Amino acid sequence: MKNYGLLLYIILAVWIIPLHQSHAQVMGMELLDGKDKVEIDFDYIYGFIIVELKISGILPMKFILDTGAEHVILFKKEISDILGFEYEKRINLVGSDLEQEVFAYITRNVALKLEDTPLVTRDLIVLEEDFLELESMVGEPIDGILGTRFLEASC
């Protein structure tokens, strides 16, 4: 009898929780703009998926789509300075070698737009210095990394 109570609880939770949350904005879903799917053009260069992302809705930049990254990272602080972004705080990051320290800034609610998607706002991590120099590896300007939090469809 105990198993039936648990099963009933799970069924009720599956029905009730989505109804309760249906009024909330789900990050990532606004990219669909009511459509079932959105196709985004990309270039595939040396194993990198490169998409064009417009910052502040107007400035086109090249970002690497990285499913292993969580955040949107801008490599060029001078661009965010020119656009007048305000920085909430300076943070200390540790490189993948766990030795190199890198400093970055957090800026909130930046307007971003992929092709054929609506303008959305996301937080950015802005590197104090572009130490990656991915341009030399890829052969074209790379302005940042587009992490999965930009695309996610769950809270």
Q: What is the pLDDT of residue 126?
A: 96
Return the residue matching tokens 């990050």: 27
What are 31-87's pLDDT values in tens digits? 666 777 778 889 999 899 999 999 987 889 999 999 888 899 999 999 999 999 999
User: What is 25-150's CATH number, 3.40.50.2000, 3.30.70.2740, 2.40.70.10, 3.40.50.2300?
Assistant: 2.40.70.10
CA distance 26 to 12: 21
Return the residue matching tokens 């092709």: 115
Q: What is the pLDDT of residue 150?
A: 84
Q: Is the pLDDT of residue 135 over 90?
A: no
How does strand 59-66 pair with strand 144-147? Answer: parallel
- DSSP labels for the chain? -HHHHHHHHHHHHHHHHHHHHTTSPPTTGGGTTT-S------EEETTEEEEEEEETTTEEEEEEEETT--SEEES-HHHHHHTTPPPSEEEEEE-TTS--EEEEEEEEEEEEEETTS--EEEEEEEESS--S-HHHHHSS---EEEEGGGT----
Q: What is the pLDDT of residue 36?
A: 77
The model's confidence at residue 24, banded by pLDDT at 50, 70 and 90, is: very low
Q: What is the pLDDT of residue 145?
A: 94
Residue ranges of the domains in the chain? 25-150
Burial class (CB in 10 A: 0-12, 13-18, 19+), 40: middle
Q: Which of 5-9, 42-46, 124-128, 140-144 has the least mean pLDDT?
A: 5-9
pTM: 0.74
> Greater confidence, 100 or 50?
50
CA distance 67 to 58: 25
Count of beta carbons in the 10 Å neighbourhood of residue 138: 17
